[in-house]
């Protein structure tokens, strides 16, 4: 078994792992995802503001609903009268009767419109505010869609990169003896930040501590060339 060669493979494995971690982090903390979260938050806030404004104008909306209902009823009445007036066999009194009905309903419709205008005018400020919020929402929607699409493309790209690295990693690990695999997993689960690095003169390449020559000797003699301070493998 060519041990030094395998130990330096730990650095490659670590690099791949770091790259994978970086990519996973990018998925949740990248610029695009942060931008999307910001926009979603804004969307929520505006939706909430509309809700609050509408609640404050509950009386207005109830009155408006009543007027809208009246308007619809009268418009239906009007069209049914107009249908009746199409009949060519109507006698003079029927014709007069329907025309009278028609003008009565037209007056009612006009009254409803006047009432609606008055109601809207009395609630102008609130309505302007709601409209402002709704315009903000409308302009936010296409941005949200655009950023979502961007993020999907970005994530797809990241995912394919991750799986490429995962493949590389499993190829590399398959060449590792079991005890090295175990060592790597063990150090990783212990939270050792830099698992393997080249030594820098007498300095540990993992944690940067300067090692005495006797410490260095014992590192060289240890089974996996581990630093006594950080447990990192020195190559």
Only one of the segments 11-19, 41-49, 103-111, 207-215 lies at the binding site for Zn ion (rule: CB under 5 A); that segment is: 207-215
Among 6, 11, 207, 235, binds Zn ion (CB under 5 A): 207
Least Cα distance to 209 among 228, 224, 188 occurs for 228
Sequence-ordered list of residues with C-beta below 8 angstroms from that of 174, at least 6 positions apart, any chain:
none
Among 10, 105, 206, 216, binds Zn ion (CB under 5 A): 206
| 72-110 burial: b if 16+ Cβ within 10 Å, else e | eebeebbeebeeeeeeeeeeeeeeeebeebbeebeebbe
Residue 229 touching Zn ion (CB under 5 A):
yes
Residue from 204, 216, 219, 233 touching Zn ion (CB under 5 A): that is 204
Site string for Zn ion, 114-153 (x = CB under 5 A): ----------------------------------------
* Tally of residues, the chain: 235
Give the one residue of 13, 105, 230, 233 binding Zn ion; rule: CB under 5 A. 230
Interface with Zn ion, residue 227, by CB under 5 A: yes
What is the DSSP secondary-structure string of 57-96? THHHHHHHHHHHHHHHHHHHHHHHHHHHHH-TT--HHHHH
Smaller CB separation from Zn ion, 172 or 209? 209
| 192 sits near Zn ion (criterion: CB under 5 A) | no
Which parts of this chain interact with Zn ion (CB under 5 A)? Answer: 204, 206-207, 227, 229-230, 232
């Amino acid at each position: 078994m060519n041990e030094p060669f395998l130990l330096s493979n730990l650095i490659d494995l670590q690099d791949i792992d770091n790259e994978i971690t970086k990519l996973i982090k990018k998925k949740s903390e990248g610029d695009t995802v942060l931008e999307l979260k910001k926009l979603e938050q804004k969307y929520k806030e505006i939706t909430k503001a509309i809700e609050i404004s509408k609640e404050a104008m509950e009386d207005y909306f109830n009155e408006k609903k009543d007027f809208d209902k009246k308007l619809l009823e009268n418009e239906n009445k009007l069209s049914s009268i107009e249908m009746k007036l199409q009949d060519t066999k109507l006698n003079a009194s029927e014709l007069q009767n329907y025309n009278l009905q028609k003008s009565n309903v037209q007056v009612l419709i006009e009254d409803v419109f006047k009432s609606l205008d008055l109601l809207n005018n009395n609630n102008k400020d609130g309505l302007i505010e709601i409209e402002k919020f709704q315009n903000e929402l409308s302009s936010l929607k296409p941005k949200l869609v655009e950023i979502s699409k961007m993020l999907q493309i970005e994530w797809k790209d990241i995912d394919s990169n991750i799986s490429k690295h995962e493949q590389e990693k499993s190829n590399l690990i398959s060449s590792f003896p079991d005890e090295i695999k175990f060592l790597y997993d063990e150090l990783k689960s212990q939270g050792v930040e830099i698992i393997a690095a080249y030594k820098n003169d007498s300095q540990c390449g993992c944690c940067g501590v300067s090692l005495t020559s006797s410490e260095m000797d014992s590192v060289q003699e240890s089974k996996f060339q581990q630093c006594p301070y950080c447990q990192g493998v020195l190559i």
